[in-house]
Amino acid sequence: MLFCPTCANMLMVEEGPECGMRYACNTCPYIYNITKKVSARTYPKLKELDYIMGSAAAWENVDSTDAVCPKCSHGRAYFMQLQTRSADEPMTTFYRCCNHSCAHNWRD
């Protein structure tokens, strides 16, 4: 944001009569033509995410239930429940296909 050097009000960007852009003050006649385009993009560094269910060892001692795998249609799946949201929300159930060649993960 730029401010007017004469009255200290915020300058607005508007289109000039020659199809160029310019800064103009709404309270005084100050106008400044924009001569070059400045653009830069800064992408934030994303933090690394932890696998929510831990390593593969987290699936070793879990129970199985009747659930159809959406990938291979196998009839059994391992499941575990984790509290992923606030305490007043229900727990999230995570499933893993019992078919070892599939091992597809999904949640309910």
19 annotated binding-site participant: no
The answer on whether 28 is annotated among ligand-binding residues is: yes
- Reported as half-sphere exposure (CB side, CA atoms, 13 A), residue 3 has a value of 5
25 labelled binding-site residue: yes
> CA–CA separation, 23 vs 14, rounded Å?
6
Q: Is 72 annotated as a binding residue?
A: yes
Determine if residue 97 is labeled as part of a ligand binding site.
Answer: yes
Calculate the dihedral angle through the C-alpha atoms of 67, 73, 74, 77, rounding to the nearest 10 degrees: -30
Is 102 labelled as part of a ligand binding site?
A: yes
User: Which residues belong to the annotated binding site for Zn(2+)?
Assistant: 4, 7, 25, 28, 69, 72, 97, 102
Q: Please state the residue numbers annotated as binding site.
A: 4, 7, 25, 28, 69, 72, 97, 102
